[in-house]
């Protein structure tokens, strides 16, 4: 859709909701199971795609289910502080000392007033995994339904 272009439509939400209730009524447990399996698949895909240096980022990727009323979903993420810099990249920036007048580290020739850090390109690992969610969900729903039919 181009910027400045819009479209309007009306949906009879009562009729849609009734149809949705009928459709999900018989398979809501199947859908919940498929969503839960999808959550694990997305988490594992994000871990697989995460760049590894020490393994801390990869092992920090977790997921949790989020159920609220009629909707079922999940969150996949990490609490590692540098994860966003890896996922989205960074601009170049300067590092300045916070407690002293200069920066120094083992192996440095001498203390310095600042260090210039070059831009870091993005290395997405969570977004590509989330983009695969629909593929995972369709496969998981088919497996869940097939398993239910064999009981």
Q: What is the pLDDT of residue 146?
A: 82
Q: What is the pLDDT of residue 28?
A: 61
Q: Phi first, then psi: give them for residue 90, nearest 5 degrees.
A: -135, 160
Q: Phi first, then psi: give them for residue 138, nearest 5 degrees.
A: -60, -45
74: exposed, middle or buried (Cβ count in 10 Å: 0-12, 13-18, 19+): middle
Q: What is the pLDDT of residue 148?
A: 62
> pLDDT (tens digit, 9 = 90+) per residue, 77-102?
999 999 999 999 999 999 999 998 99
pLDDT of 23 strictly over 50: yes
Q: What percent of the chain has pLDDT over 70?
A: 76
């Amino acid at each position: 859709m181009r910027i400045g272009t819009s479209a309007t439509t009306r949906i009879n939400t009562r009729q849609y909701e009734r149809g949705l209730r009928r459709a999900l009524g018989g398979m809501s447990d199947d859908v919940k199971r498929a969503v839960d399996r999808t959550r694990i698949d997305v988490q594992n895909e994000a871990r697989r795609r995460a760049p590894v240096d020490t393994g801390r980022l990869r092992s920090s990727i977790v997921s949790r289910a989020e159920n609220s009323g009629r909707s079922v979903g999940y969150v996949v993420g990490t609490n590692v502080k540098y994860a966003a810099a890896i996922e989205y990249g960074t601009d170049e920036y300067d590092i300045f000392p916070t407690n002293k007048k200069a920066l120094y580290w083992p192996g440095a020739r001498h203390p310095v007033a600042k260090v210039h850090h070059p831009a870091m390109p993005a290395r997405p690992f969570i977004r590509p995994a989330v983009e695969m969610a629909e593929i995972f969900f369709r496969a998981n729903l088919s497996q869940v339904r097939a398993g239910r039919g064999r009981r």
